[in-house]
Amino acid sequence: MELLDIDGNKTSGIQVKNSKYTLIDFWYTNCGQCIAKFPALSTVYETYHTQGFEIVGIATDALKYKKDLPITIEKHKLKWLQYWDLNGKGATALSILAFPTNYLLNAEGYILEKNISAAELNLFLNKNL
């Protein structure tokens, strides 16, 4: 999956270090449901980040929304890693057609959960970290 940084520069891919669990969150700037979940995810992130939890956001916006990406990230104070899947090409290749979509991975990269809610994620991390 070719990912860009939020400024549109090529990256070497997702860089997550020392994470016991990582939530990969696919979203886009005009997705109301995506935006609505940010406050709850922020709370979970703040609670568990220092204990080995990471979130990686992958915005699937079209090129015409490039200027909206940093504005949305700043507005919602998203402190976790953010990447850009230009035009959602990578997401489409992975058959991700509904948004938001997320995957909870363990340290070995195995998918533990798909589309886990913030409340369920909080319970899982509370039990496992």
Q: For residue 72, what are its two tokens?
A: 């949305």
Contact 29/53 with Cβ under 8 angstroms? Answer: no
In a domain, 109, yes or no: yes
Query: What residues make up the domain containing 117?
Result: 21-128
Angstrom distances, CA of residue 95 to CA of 4, 31, 67, 92, 98: 19, 18, 26, 5, 9
Q: Any idea what the CATH number is for the domain that residue 61 is in?
A: 3.40.30.10
Give how far Cα 49 sits from Cα of 30, 36, 89, 97, Å. 27, 21, 29, 28
What's the 3-state SS for 73-99?
Answer: HHHCCCCCEEEECHHHHHHHHCCCCCC
Q: pTM of the prediction?
A: 0.95
* pLDDT tens per residue across all 129 residues of the chain: 889 999 899 998 787 778 999 999 999 999 999 999 999 999 999 999 999 999 999 999 999 999 999 999 999 999 999 999 999 999 999 999 999 999 999 999 999 999 999 999 999 999 999
Q: Is residue 11 part of a domain?
A: no
Query: Does 1 map to a domain?
Result: no
